[in-house]
Amino acid sequence: MPTPLNPAMAATESPPVMEARRWLDGVQFPPERPLINVSQAAPVEPPPLALRQAIAEAALHNDAAHLYGPVLGLPALRSEIAQQWSATYGGNIQPNQVAITQGCNQAFTAVMSTLAGAGDEVILPTPWYFNHKMWLDMQAVHTVPLATGAGLIPSAADAAALITPNTRAIVLVSPNNPGGAEYPAQTLDDFMALARERGLALIVDETYRDFDSRTGAPHQLFTDPQWADTLIHLYSFSKAYRLTGHRVGAIVASESRLMQVEKFLDTVAICPNQLGQIGALWGMQNLAAWVATERLEILSRRRAMVDGFKTLPDWKLLGCGAYFAYVEHPYALPSDQLAKTLVQKASLLTLPGTMFQPAGSAAGKRQLRIAFANIDGTEITEFFNRLKSLNL
């Protein structure tokens, strides 16, 4: 007799990126047409040498870096985030309103564990980030899909119609994963007002903030003196400093919320990765110019994607920004079949919209996500050449 399996876990979809990688098993790509992998949004190069040296120095000479640290993170890193966020957003953020986590995914799971339990509801705009949906499913929390409009921008008025007595939070990701959309400041203001009026938490995930095409603060939420009564902000150091393997994320929230978060983090990880935190702090203090250059390169690739889809009139670019282009394809095949076909016939690994939409969604069957940040200009040109020559 098999051992028991939590039914909520059994009902949770498999990790999409891992599933997509299995499509490559046994596939031989022609030498003249090597694989172009646009399935995962993660830097493929290591951090800058100076940052790696700072981590190495800590590993060799800072004995404390190998011990348990504070559950909510290193005080110096929490203080640096509070200071820089206050300056960037024009608000007042204190170190005791910052917690460090093992990546931004853990930031989300930690926060959501303090907000919602089995039978509660959380509103996610569609297309959604699949790991957010997976965590809610694992906890038997009901995900309420919020369809987005032009440019994949959600509407607070539409969200208001979805709120029930069981609703606990609204989650926004900007710049968006998977859609690439940069939410206007007014959109975030509208959601903040709605969440406050209805007694909900507003979770704003800004993992890709460093690659926003706009200059200055992308919103004014932190200028509200009472921001902490509603807003929970999430961030990742993985993209800006190429620290994906070190797993460093952050939560900015009320001190009382973080006291509850501490229970989760102590149970799951005890403390964040010490060397990763040291690297993140060094990066914040020394790599502003380098990150600015990285941003310009990503924006250049974004322009190349926008221009490329102009040459494919049968395709529709629904959203493009930060690391992602989200598109509607012109074929009769549903996107989950099309994505596998693209591996075989074009040596392109993309993710289908079915991974980012509710089960059975007609829209999801017509959509693909393209994580273009990991391919350079030459590869982007080749990507479009392959789509143009595709014969299905």
Please report the pLDDT score of residue 20 as a whole number: 87
The CB density around residue 171, as the number of other CB atoms within 10 Å, is 26
Please report the pLDDT score of residue 97 as a whole number: 98
Q: What is the CATH number of domain 49-287?
A: 3.40.640.10
Do domains 7-46+290-388 and 49-287 share one topology? The answer is no
Please report the pLDDT score of residue 41 as a whole number: 80
Please report the pLDDT score of residue 2 as a whole number: 82
Please report the pLDDT score of residue 139 as a whole number: 96
Please give the Cα distance from 128 to 178 (Å, whole number): 7
Please report the pLDDT score of residue 17 as a whole number: 84
- The reported pTM is 0.95
Please report the pLDDT score of residue 16 as a whole number: 85
Name the CATH superfamily, with its identifier, for domain 7-46+290-388.
Answer: Aspartate Aminotransferase, domain 1 (3.90.1150.10)
Digit-by-digit pLDDT tens for the chain (392 residues) are: 789 999 999 999 888 888 889 999 989 999 999 999 999 888 888 999 999 999 999 999 999 999 999 999 999 999 999 999 999 999 999 999 999 999 999 999 999 999 999 999 999 999 999 999 999 999 999 999 999 999 999 999 999 999 999 999 999 999 999 999 999 999 999 999 999 999 999 999 999 999 999 999 999 999 999 999 999 999 999 999 999 999 999 999 999 999 999 999 999 999 999 999 999 999 999 999 999 999 999 999 999 999 999 999 999 999 999 999 999 999 999 999 999 999 999 999 999 999 999 999 999 999 999 999 989 999 999 999 999 999 88
328-367 pLDDT tens trace: 999 999 999 999 999 999 999 999 999 999 999 999 999 9
Encode 3-24: b = buried (16+ Cβ within 10 Å), e = exposed: eeeeeeeeebeeebbeebeeee
Per-domain boundaries in the chain: 7-46+290-388, 49-287
How far is Cα of residue 279 from the mean position of the Cα atoms in its chain?
A: 20
State how far the alpha carbon of 309 is from the alpha carbons of 272, 295, 313, 330, in Å.
Answer: 41, 21, 7, 12
* Residues 256 and 94: beta-carbon distance below 8 Å: no
Please report the pLDDT score of residue 26 as a whole number: 87
